[in-house]
Amino acid sequence: MKHLVVVLTEPAEGREAEYNDYYENRHLDDVLATTDWTSAQRFKLTDQQGMKCPLPYLAVYEVEAADPAEVLKTLNATRRERVQSDALNKRTAGVWVFSETGPKHERD
């Protein structure tokens, strides 16, 4: 079964360049190397409508797992294998797992 791990984060105050360098050039690849997750990509909030997005940066990971309960267990169990940066504000970060409910729709 396919799952998406959705992570919202922000940099520590005054450390955005360091945060972006760490996240893009280290963290995504470290997560993929220490888990069985299949892909990772980052995004920055550039516009919004409706409810305000709480944090400006989004990372999305694709995961194949039979049991969705194992997804975050894997992330947490492998955390010590990855370099952590205090340029990422861990106090405001959030992680959610979304499990597929139907097939992907694509334009013809």
Q: What are 12-41's pLDDT values in tens digits?
A: 999 999 999 999 999 999 999 999 999 999
pLDDT at 3: 98
Local confidence band at 72 (pLDDT 50, 70, 90 cut-offs): very high
Local confidence band at 46 (pLDDT 50, 70, 90 cut-offs): very high
Q: What are 2-16's pLDDT values in tens digits?
A: 999 999 999 999 999
In whole numbers, what is the pLDDT of the chain averaged over residues? Answer: 97
DSSP label at residue 93: -
Beta bridge partners of 7: 59, 95
Domains located in the chain, CATH noted: 2-99 (3.30.70.100)
Q: What is the largest CA-CA distance in the chain?
A: 45
For 77-96, what is the mean pLDDT? 97
DSSP label at residue 50: S
20: helix, strand or coil: helix
